[in-house]
Chain A
Amino acid sequence: MSNSSKPNLWVRYTSKSPVFVTVFSVVLGLVVGALVIIATSPVILHSWSLVFSSWGGIFHALKVTLDNVGAAYRSIFTGSIVDPPQFWHALTTGKDWTVALTPISETLTYTAPLLIASIGVGIAFQAGMFNIGANGQAVMGGIVGTAAGSMLHLPTVVHVPLTLLAGILGGVIAGIIPGLLKAFTGAHEVIITLMLNYVIAFFLIYTLLSTALQQPGQQNDVSRYVDPTAQLSPLFGAHSGLRVNWGIIIAGIVVLFAWWFLERSTLGFDFRVTGASPKTAQASGINAKVVIVLVFLISGGLAGLAGVVQVSSTTHFLDGGFLVGSAGIGFTAITVSLLGRNNPIGIIWGSLLFAALNVGGRVMQASTSIPLDLATIIQSVIVLFVATPVLVKEIFRLRVEHAEAVQLSVKGWS
């Protein structure tokens, strides 16, 4: 009998499990995305305008809608995970594995820096601090990392770690400023990091136009290339044609570190106590100032690592568009971290999903001419719902607890 499984699912459905809220938020995000497609697609709108002109009009309109929305979402899926026919072809003939594996390889390539940055933001959230400056810190990591990667000339064994360390250093420099200011002047970290993002964005332009970093012979804001010895090489070799690289291994190590740090280390415990209740932290003798500075040091360092991984694995140089707009992994990291409820395992799933949306969104843009921005729209709707679990529970008739205060992070300016 299905009696044994159905109540189980029902019990879980009606439980307070956050997983359902997250899953339903994703569903709602996709629904809103579909509505956006429908509202802006001339073909779909035209088919609906003909609903009353013939008997089959409504079916035709539904079919056109499903076809178009389906094509968009299908291309996101096949572009980011796997295209079943191609995969089947590779499986049966043993040829064209590169084509079959490219989507997932692209997604993993994109995931690596996003995952690292999100872990950084997540650790800050766990300590009750909102690091909205991850993007600036990542840019700083990219700048310092590119400097080390392009100006030094060393063998790979030394050059890669040194470049990564330089990136971390850049992130730490950018991260420690808000940390120190918050700890010693009480300034709100959201405003400081928000403003620093812009300061660093202009600093990037400044450095790109300075002789030290600018590509020789260039007048534009383009940096020197990082040496091949400072690049993260593809996991399966350059001849494999797959871009997935050592960045994803580094991201894995960062996740392990974050798990160990938050769950097993004393400092991580102090972080979480501070995040759960600053008063308790104070009462138990945790030095709040030290925690604040360290939170931003670690969070900034990870964001910086994300920036340098992006340069060293994917772009290989900096330009004025580095981490700007939809490429701003530091901003996406905030949403990923919220999606993953700030814990490392959740963040893995969150960054995979958002990376897939971005990579697949690009394929969708190419094949259906629906702009990539749809991916960002879907992402922001998802996070809006994740940040408002009670609303999601009401929509899906999950158990509602109005008393539940949903505080994901900090409160106010003062």
Chain B
Amino acid sequence: MSISEIASTTISKVKRPVGRSRAIGTLTLLLGAFTTFIFGLGSNPASKSILTFNPTNLTGVIPPHVGELSVPSKATCLILGILIIAVGIEILVRRPAEGLMVRFGGSAVLFVIGLLIWTVRVPGPAPFGVINMTAVLVGSSPLVMVLVFGALSGVMCERAGVVNIAIEGQFIGGAFFGSMIASTTHNFILAAFMGALIGALLGLLLSFLALRYLSDQIIVGVVIVTMLASLSSYLNVQVLSPYPQYNTGDLAPKLAIPLLAKIPILGPVFFNQNGFFYLMIVLVVVISFALFKTRYGLHVRAVGEHPKAAETVGIDVIKIRYFNVVVGGAIAGIGGVAFVASYGQFQPGCTSGLGYIALAALIFGKWRPSGAVVASIIFGVSVYLANNLQTYNVPVRSAILQTFPYLITIGVVAGLIGRVRAPAADGQPYKRD
């Protein structure tokens, strides 16, 4: 293939697919219609919903008390619904090139607010007509954080052309050994290093088998997950149960950032978290910058898209792939530590498939760190609500709500909700001639 041919096919591939904005716009319209007709018109005009914003069970820095907000359920839901519909129409008419995910994410947030207002309406089915918005955000933030760690790991690996389906295994490994170190040393920095080490070793195993021996990356990934799941369950019985001092379930301390932590709502969510949360934010920024603004990032993306071309201009494909998969593994390993540092004791199966949701977030986020963050927020909050809305007698079973992240990923991958494109050489073995 001549250079110009490669260039033209590449350009045709890169050209923005129109289908994505249309599909996202349609989906947004649907969300808006749902909010307007089910939540809005479905509630009694006399119903009221009370939103509170004061964090509960918070230790340390407590932001100033914010008053409750009592809103008429029907009118608020109608307004939210019309707002979402407006965003949907804007997407469909203007077909914005940038910021699709932000618009969709914003609509999803409005939708969730509508859902919560509708849920707690009084008179209504809920036992108590109050919902604590801050508690929802604070409660879902550890899930979002772990998902972001996993999705970033996927970004590192897959941008270099190696499929890391073993994120879940790296979570489990990091969670198990990280919790052990945290329990014995009470030092979460050491625990994070331990998790990074375990994740990196698993990444090394994956890249060793995939790059040196050209084994199928998906099979190796799946087997690594199985191996870690059974190994952690085995060690749980053999080591953690007889020696509970190795699994004390210490939580990482919350590090409040002075002043900022006192901002109502935003403070508890963003500025009164454990160290892993801040580390995650730093990683998002660093990886975005490294991938898209540096020479190294250019090399990585070249390796992921067209390894042969990269090799001809002198980039060491294998080296870059090894490096990225090992670093990606380390990030996922830290994600596992972050999980136990936020939820407590390690238990077999405690990560409950979050690694696969992270994989989904990576795909939904179009293999970009920023997209992965938006996707992780959507998936993390929806998982949290699915697990917690039952207390409000929501007429939707949690089992149905819990399928949401998986269904939306299927929709995305199948192109029903816009098409995404993986790095061209993702998952393909590379061999020097």
The residues of A with any CB-CB pair to B shorter than 8 Å are 36, 40-41, 130, 132, 181, 185-188, 190-192, 194-196, 198-199, 202-203, 205-206, 209, 325-326, 331, 334-335, 338, 370-371, 373-374, 376-377, 379-381, 383-384, 387-388, 390-391, 405-414
Q: Which of B30-38, B228-236, B324-332 contacts A (4 or more CB under 8 A)?
A: B228-236
Give A182's nearest chain B residue, CB to CB: B414
Flag if B239 contacts A190 (CB, 8 Å): no
Contact present for A407 and B163 (CB under 8 Å) = no
The contact of A191 among B213, B214, B226, B363, by CB within 8 Å, is: B363
Q: Which residue of A has the minimal Cβ distance to B406? A: A195
Which residues of chain B have a CB within 8 Å of any CB of chain A? 158, 163, 165, 209, 213-220, 222-224, 226-227, 229-231, 233-235, 237-239, 349, 353, 356, 359-360, 363, 397, 399-400, 402-403, 406-407, 409-410, 413-416, 421-429, 431
Question: Are B220 and A326 within 8 A (Cβ)?
Answer: no
**Cβ contacts under 8 Å, B222 to chain A:** 132, 331, 334
Closest chain B residue, CB of each to CB of A334: B222
Which residues from chain A contact B431 at a C-beta distance below 8 Å? 405
Across the interface, B399 reaches (CB within 8 A) one of A36, A192, A206, A376, namely A206
**A190: chain B residues within 8 A (beta carbon):** 165, 218
Is the beta-carbon distance between A377 and B239 smaller than 8 angstroms? Answer: no
Residues on the B chain within 8 Å of A371, using CB: 233-234, 237-238
Given contacts A198-B406, A414-B423, 18 further A-B contacts (CB under 8 A): A130-B218, A181-B414, A192-B413, A195-B413, A196-B406, A202-B399, A206-B399, A206-B400, A209-B399, A371-B234, A374-B230, A376-B226, A376-B229, A384-B220, A391-B213, A409-B216, A412-B217, A412-B425
A-B contact pairs, 14 of them (CB 8 A): A41-B238, A130-B218, A185-B414, A191-B413, A192-B413, A196-B406, A199-B406, A209-B397, A338-B219, A370-B238, A407-B216, A409-B216, A414-B422, A414-B426
Q: Is the CB of A374 within 8 A of B234?
A: yes
User: With a CB–CB cut-off of 8 A, which chain A residues contact B233?
Assistant: 325-326, 371, 373
Residues in chain B near residue A187, CB distance under 8 A = 410, 413-415
Query: Are A387 and B397 closer than 8 Å at their CB atoms?
Result: no
Contacts A381-B227, A411-B429; is A181 near B410 (CB within 8 Å)?
Answer: yes
Q: Is the CB of B223 within 8 A of A407?
A: no
Query: A18: shortest Cβ distance to chain B, in Å?
Result: 15
Are A405 and B214 closer than 8 Å at their CB atoms? yes
| Chain B residues in 8 Å Cβ range of A185 | 414-416
CB distance from B305 to the nearest CB of A (A): 10
- Expressed in whole angstroms, the minimum distance between the Cβ of A277 and any Cβ of chain B is 16
Beta-carbon contact of A411 and B402 below 8 Å: no
B367 to chain A, nearest CB (A): 10
A199 x B407 contact (CB < 8 A): yes
Smallest CB separation, B383 vs chain A (Å): 11
Q: Is the CB of A373 within 8 A of B410?
A: no
Nearest CB of B to A174, in Å: 12
If A383-B223, A414-B422 touch, whether A388 touches B209 (CB-CB below 8 Å) is yes
